[in-house]
Amino acid sequence: MTNFRLLLEYDGTDFEGWQLQGTRRTVQGCLVEALEKIVGVRVRLMGSGRTDSGVHAEGQVASARFETRLDVVSLRRALNANLPDDVAVRRVEVVADGFDARRDARSKYYRYRIWNDPVRSPLRTRRAWWVRASVDLEAMRRGAAALVGRHDFASFQAAGSAVRTTVRTLTRAEVSGVAGDDILFDFEGDGFLRYMIRNLVGTLVEVGRGSRDADEIVTILEGCDRAAAGETAPARGLTLVSVGYA
């Protein structure tokens, strides 16, 4: 059998996340169904990681082993012909037998988008969090800078999560854009906890609004208490941009 790597793009609005969940509509489920139609058997498809309900992707990576006579271009064409409009396979590659999209992932890069204006933007409704109040970009940048490095991010993990460790390393935590317009939060690291980025953004927005001081970010990290951090930002503003491999 041949091992394939797929590069995927999807609008997560109408999906119940990435992972198969019985009869619920998921990205993984749509891909498995499309592959079954093409190759005639149920294929085990592994993603680089789960994206939650409503979260988008520009560069999700998946891998699967199966037999087919199709070349990679024909396989991509066949997959996209059998997929719904809100998910597409951007690229198909043949990779080494041992490659596993999840196990071999070394880093992930996410972007969170905010529309900061008193008036809603219909064109951004599915891809950004509408924040009406004025925000201080410099304060948010100072808060984000404190997140870079290796820390225990327990304060920014969704309640009830079960992981072996809440320690993660962020190599990038940046805020860009223009107050009163589009604001982007870019995070890159070796892994992320459940809702971690959305909780980080929610807390940084509170800093931007002036209800928290940027220096509080360090105290929140050290406290390892979810109750000390800010609100959870909506899923619709979050996009998985890319996954890094060795």
Judge whether 215 counts as a catalytic residue. no
Q: Give 159-228 as a 3 state SS string.
A: CCCCCCCCEEEEEEEEEEECCCCEEEEEEEECCCCCCHHHHHHHHHHHHHHCCCCCCHHHHHHHHCCHHH
Residue 223 dihedral angles phi and psi, to the nearest 5°: -75, -20
Q: Which is catalytic among the residues 52, 136, 186, 190?
A: 52
The token duo for 11 is 């609008």
Whole-angstrom distance, CA of residue 55 vs CA of residue 73: 27
Which residues pair with residue 87 across a beta bridge? 10
Residues in the chain, overall count = 246
The token duo for 58 is 């520009």
Judge contact between 132 and 117, C-beta under 8 A. yes
The token duo for 226 is 């979810």
Any idea which residues carry the catalytic annotation? 52
